[in-house]
Structure 1
């Protein structure tokens, strides 16, 4: 049995779940931040938020696909669990870092507009 194929499958299920849930939450709550940037333009704000969701999804899907290339041959279930945990932790860390960078950038931009 090829443990790499099993690992790919498990990893893709976990990361797809994380990407979809986080994307849905950010899309739903992101309208508030985008509306702050462009008051009185609700249609434009929704379109911008949709584009941000698309870019988020494409970036993360691309990262996950590129991650699969770097996997070495897996020989044991312990190694399988370790690789999946490390790869999943990396995607979670990257998502959280990108989220905080976006929040900081938007907050600074709004503060600059208010002054």
Structure 2
């Protein structure tokens, strides 16, 4: 019964909202784990798959840069207009965390795009 499409995707074959939101923001579901490969052929296939999927990194970088700009913008707005101290700190912290995520994505993209398959 677990193999039916309705068990994972819902009644209409669509993904649940939280799954869609997760896939919209995070990219790990696109990539295969080479460490879980049982032999060199599966590891090679996983690496080739990951290199092919690295073309999606610019899309995720645009999404995360929008989150970063939103966080910095809201932080500046709350700091200047409302003279609040807790809300700007929260928005600036979220913006810094999303910027750190962008750096991780850039490094992963550079490594995958320039990796040599042997």
TM-score > 0.5, shorter chain as reference? no
Structure possessing the higher radius of gyration over alpha carbons: 2
Higher helix share: 1
With a CA cutoff of 8 Å and minimum separation of 6, indicate the structure with the bigger relative contact order.
1
TM-score (norm 2): 0.37
